[in-house]
Amino acid sequence: MTSTASTQLVALARGMRELVRAEAAESERQRTLTAPIVEGMWASGLLSAFNPVAAGGVEPSFAEMIETWIEMAWQDGSFGWVGIANLPSTFAAACYLPDEGFAEVFTAHDNRVTLGGQFFPNGQGIAVDGGYRLSGSWNFGSGVGHSQYVAAGFLPLDDGEMRWVSDGVPDMQVAVVAREDISLGDGWYVQGLKGTGSYDYSADDVFVPESRTFPLFRREPYRGSSPATRMGLMAVTAAGHASWALGVAKSMLDDVTELAATKYRMSDMGESLASRPTFQKGLAQHVAAWRAARLLVLDAFGTAEAAVASGADLTPTLRADMRVAAVHATDTARSCAEWAHLAAGTTAIREGSRFERAFRDMYTGTQHAFISEKVAIDVARIWLGIIDDQFGL
């Protein structure tokens, strides 16, 4: 895509601002995005934009994805989280499902398909003629509240034995299951990200044809020509987590900056928050840290993308650089959010305000294992030469 197309893609998300703001509280009450937001995403083209062209998308670059996700998360944490859940999930299914499965899931529905769920292999798939008998339970199925299909990670079993792709690494597959074949739980009562429809769900001996499954770590697409399609779900997911945290933090930094001109503390009514040197210093430090974290993310993902575009391999080092950039961005964003929350004083604790919601969302989203300290440790072990690779990166 050209830079003009990039601006247009971010504009799709920016055009949702008024609607998302109006519906944010109701999404939290319903514990899933409201129907007007979902329909708005379809009407704008946002819900399919990240897909390969064959599935109605535009195959954006990583920079375009990152800036779009930052915008979505800036508007509302739940809206942004659905963006980093549904868009990569549907992207992966559209890229990596075999032709028969793609036709069943995408073509048969004119590409108006949303996929949510959880990719970690918490299920088991007993291999049978033509596919698998799938059983399992999955937690935090992000975005399933409005999805037609649900992703379910599983371990294939042949005659009761696990498959192995290499020494110590089991075969991990993803099943794309019709929503009506899944049992949704009612456990999404959480601190933050309340509007994401991230329900628990289960399957009990559900037949899934092999054509509706794909390897979790696949990087050879059946369709799509952008470098992202050859970098796999892990890279796209990492970019999403980094962007989401940056977007929520930016909302809080922007809001406290706007507040500062009119905010007076009871302890010092003589000057506004904006006039205080301690606030000025804190703002400068945290905005600079945010900008640096964003640039690191753009650099790490852009460097890997350029390497793949030139025909080079996506090496363990490139993958490690992307993942640690996501961890760093998340840690930085959390620090920015904490500072902005404290600086805003009692304004930030008003229930239902953007401040209060963003703070809850930040401390919920940053609990995710995908950007945990374990990832940073794996990255350092690769940099130090202790290990050659870590398949989960």
pLDDT tens-digit map of 294-314 = 999 999 999 999 999 999 999
Question: Is residue 321 a contact partner of residue 235, using CB atoms and an 8 Å limit?
Answer: no
Taking the C-alpha atoms of residue 130 and residue 273, their distance in angstroms, rounded to an integer, is: 66
Q: Give the number of C-alpha atoms closer than 13 A to the C-alpha of residue 64, restricted to the C-beta side.
A: 24
Q: For the segment 30-50, what is each residue's pLDDT rounded down to a tens digit?
A: 999 999 999 999 999 999 999
Bridge partners of 157?
Answer: 126, 162
Residue ranges matching CATH 1.20.140.10 in the chain: 227-384
**What CATH number does domain 227-384 carry, 3.30.450.20, 3.40.50.11140, 1.20.140.10, 3.40.950.10?**
1.20.140.10
Residue for token pair 């899934």: 208
Q: Show the tokens assigned to 371.
A: 């950007």
pLDDT at 2: 38
What lies within 8 Å, CB to CB, of 45 at 6+ separation is 12, 56
CATH architecture of 115-215: Beta Barrel (2.40)
**Helix pair angle (316-344, 373-383), 10° resolution:** 140
Note the pTM of the prediction, 2 decimals. Answer: 0.95
What pLDDT was estimated at residue 269? Answer: 64
Tens of pLDDT, residues 64-89: 999 999 999 999 999 999 999 999 99
Q: Does position 270 have pLDDT exceeding 80, yes or no?
A: no
Burial class (CB in 10 A: 0-12, 13-18, 19+), 39: middle
Of 195, 237, 236, nearest to 76 by C-alpha is: 195
Does 1.20.140.10 match the CATH number of domain 8-96?
no
